[in-house]
């Protein structure tokens, strides 16, 4: 194994390659890698933030839903109460109306009855008079007995 100028040649080549690597290879690659690392870190960060805001939005939606549900329940309750109230009012009104109608009709009836009784009384009195006339064979003095007949009709 001879040591010779090859040594020097190799040394020179070595220095050239190191220089080349230092100048043209290492900086761009490491720079790109560092930048990508930064990008990835930023991306992960953004994803984290997005996930957190999504979580927030979910919570907000949940809260709003709950509010809306409560509101709806309240509205339904209100509507129910209103409906009940309306029904009750209608019932009351109907009852009053019915009572009124009943009252007026019973008054009418009473009036009719009184009227019928009145006319019947008159009729009975005249019938009785006619009967008595027949029985007594004629002449009962209308004028003399009208007072009596009126009393009779009054008692009927």
Partner 1 sequence: MASENPTATEYIRHHLTNLTFGYHPENGWSFAHGGQEATEMGFMAIHVDTVGWSFALGIVFSIIFYLGAKRATSGVPSGILNAVEAVVDFVDNSVRESFHGKSALIAPLALTIFGWIFMMNLVKLLPIDFVPALFKAAGVEYMKIVPTTDLNATLGMALGVFVLIIFYSLKIKGAAGFIGELTLQPFGKWLLPFNFLLEGVGLIAKPISLALRLFGNMYAGELIFLLIALLPFYLQWVLSVPWAIFHIFVIILQAFIFMMLTICYLSMAHEHH
Which parts of this chain interact with partner 1 (CB under 8 A)? 1-11, 13-18, 20-22, 24-26, 28-33, 35-36, 38-39
The nearest distance, CB 6 to partner 1, in angstroms, is 4
First to last CA, the chain: 169
Residue (33 or 83) nearer to partner 1, CB: 33
Q: Phi and psi dihedrals of 138, rounded to 5?
A: 120, -155
Residue (4 or 155) nearer to partner 1, CB: 4
Alpha-carbon distance of 35 to 149, in angstroms, equals 134
The nearest distance, CB 46 to partner 1, in angstroms, is 16
The nearest distance, CB 72 to partner 1, in angstroms, is 51
Apex 63 CA angle, 61 and 69, nearest 5 = 100
């Amino acid at each position: 194994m001879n040591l010779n100028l090859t040594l020097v040649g190799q040394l020179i080549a070595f220095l050239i390659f190191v220089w080349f690597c230092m100048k043209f290879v290492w900086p761009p690659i490491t720079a790109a890698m560092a930048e990508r690392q930064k990008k990835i870190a930023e991306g992960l960060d953004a994803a984290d933030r997005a996930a957190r805001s999504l979580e927030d939005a979910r919570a907000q939606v949940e809260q709003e839903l709950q509010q809306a549900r409560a509101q709806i329940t309240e509205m339904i309750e209100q509507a129910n109460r209103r409906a009940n109230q309306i029904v009750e009012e209608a019932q009351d009104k109907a009852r009053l109306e019915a009572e009124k109608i009943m009252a007026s009709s019973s008054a009418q009836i009473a009036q009719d009855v009184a009227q019928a009784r009145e006319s019947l009384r008159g009729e009975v009195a005249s019938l009785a008079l006619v009967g008595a006339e027949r029985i007594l064979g004629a002449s009962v003095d209308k004028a003399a007995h009208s007072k009596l007949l009126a009393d009779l009709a009054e008692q009927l």
